[in-house]
Amino acid sequence: MFKKVIQLFLGFLLIALGVILMRYASLGLNPWGTFHDGLSKILDIQFGTASQLTGLLIILLSLVLKIYPGIGTILNMYFCGFFINLIDNLEIIPMPSHIVSKVLYLVLSIWILSYGIYLYISVGYGAGPRDGLMVGLIKLTGGKTSLIRTMIETTALILGFLMGGKVGIGTIISAFAIGHTIQYIFKIHNFNPKEVKHLSIIDSFSIIFK
């Protein structure tokens, strides 16, 4: 279980790092980043805090769709936003100044973000709010990961843009690339999200305090 918890938090950290790299690339935020940016402007809150609030709202929406959260879902909601704010405030990642380095940041952000998603989903402690919605919709509809992910990302992008979130060429690229990248990573690890049985919060606590 200790190894699974480490993998869970490593996934959160990689997701936060991927988001930061995309922000620093200044080629446009990823769809959820655009949504968080727009929300942070409207509510005058930090970027990471907007991510946490969005996660809470998605959990509530998922409950309506009978997609129940696990302990990993709750931890994701808080710690992804926490790590985003932490990395940003520490200023440990240099800002790219050349177009080549900006493109490199963009490509790295997509792969790092996607791999972070795989790491914590495969633990089985409950997918994060956004990815829990993705996995739930995959199971409900039987659709492909790339299609469901792209639909979710596109919806977040449109809403974020309407709220004033940053949009650029990087936003469009990531909107379509993230779904395919996640599906490719799932494939090379022989991981099928349709077969994952995520532990509920009650199941997780019964294991911890057994």
User: What is the per-residue pLDDT for 115?
Assistant: 94
Q: pLDDT at residue 193 above 90? A: no
Cβ proximity of 80 and 128 under 8 Å? yes
**Cα 3 to the center of its chain, rounded Å:** 21
Rounded to an integer, the average pLDDT of 39-63 is: 90
State yes or no: pLDDT of 206 exceeds 70. no
Higher pLDDT among residues 68 and 9, named by residue: 9
Question: What number is the average pLDDT over the span 91-109?
Answer: 92
- Report how far apart, in Å, the C-alpha atoms of 34 and of each of 156, 180, 186, 190, 209 are: 8, 19, 25, 31, 40
Whole-number average pLDDT of the chain: 85
Q: What is the pTM of this model?
A: 0.80
Q: Number of C-alpha atoms within 13 angstroms, CB side, residue 152?
A: 24
Helices (H), 30-98: 31-43, 47-64, 71-90
Asked whether the predicted pLDDT for residue 118 surpasses 60, the reply is: yes
**Residue 84 to residue 86: CA distance in whole angstroms:** 5
pLDDT for residue 202: 58
Cβ contacts of 16 within 8 Å, gap of 6 or more: 48, 80, 82, 83, 84, 86, 87, 116
64-68, 90-94, 188-192: which has the highest mean pLDDT? 90-94
DSSP state string for 162-209? HTT----HHHHHHHHHHHHHHHHHHHHTT--GGG--PPPHHHHHHHHT
Model pLDDT, residue 199: 61
> 163-191: per-residue pLDDT in tens?
999 889 988 888 778 888 988 998 898 88
pLDDT(208) > 60: no
Token digits of residue 74: 């709750």
Give the model's pLDDT for residue 198.
Answer: 60
Q: Specify whether the CB–CB gap between 123 and 6 falls below 8 A.
A: no
Q: Name the residue with higher pLDDT: 61 or 86.
A: 86
As a whole number of Å, the end-to-end CA separation of the chain is 12
Q: Answer whether residue 82 shows pLDDT above 90.
A: yes
Please state the rounded mean pLDDT for residues 58-64: 83
